[in-house]
């Protein structure tokens, strides 16, 4: 299995609070991604990174920001969490553009 960990695995927070999710990889892959998964919507791309300090927006980026200060870590931040951001968040990595992606175990976030 690809070495991808996500932390925390579960989080409950209140509306308006900031939240940061962490993705850590040991594969030295260039690309990293954050998705959210919701019933009936499948996987939707939030942000992705194609290198250290190189990031871009995905399909559902509003309300989210990311940072990648080193190859192995990709952080997803909800500046002010809302109930609509209750979801399961998955991190993924890939070696190249359009290549197969390897997924982390997910983080279940509940915003009350």
90 is a contact residue toward other proteins (CB under 8 A): yes
Stretch that binds other proteins, among 17-25, 63-71, 73-81, 103-111 (CB under 8 A): 103-111
Min separation Cβ 43 and other proteins, Å: 4
For the segment 41-60, give every residue that binds other proteins (CB under 8 A).
Answer: 41-43, 45, 48, 50, 56, 58
Give me the torsion for CA of 104, 105, 107, 108, rounded to 10°.
Answer: 140
Give the pair of three-digit tokens for residue 26. Answer: 């040991």
Scan for tokens 């290549």, then name that residue: 99
Cα four-point dihedral sign 51, 59, 91, 2: negative
Residues binding other proteins (CB under 8 A):
33, 40-43, 45, 48, 50, 56, 58, 90, 92, 97-106
């Amino acid at each position: 299995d690809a070495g991808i960990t996500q932390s925390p695995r579960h989080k409950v927070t209140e509306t308006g609070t900031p939240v940061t999710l962490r993705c850590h990889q040991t594969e030295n892959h260039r690309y990293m991604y954050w998705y959210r998964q919701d019933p009936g919507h499948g996987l939707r791309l939030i942000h992705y990174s194609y290198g250290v300090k190189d990031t871009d927006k995905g399909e559902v980026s509003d309300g989210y920001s990311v940072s990648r200060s080193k190859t192995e870590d990709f952080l997803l931040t909800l500046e002010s969490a809302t109930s609509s951001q209750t979801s399961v968040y998955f991190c993924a990595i890939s070696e190249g553009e359009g290549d197969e992606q390897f997924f982390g175990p997910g983080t279940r976030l509940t915003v009350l």
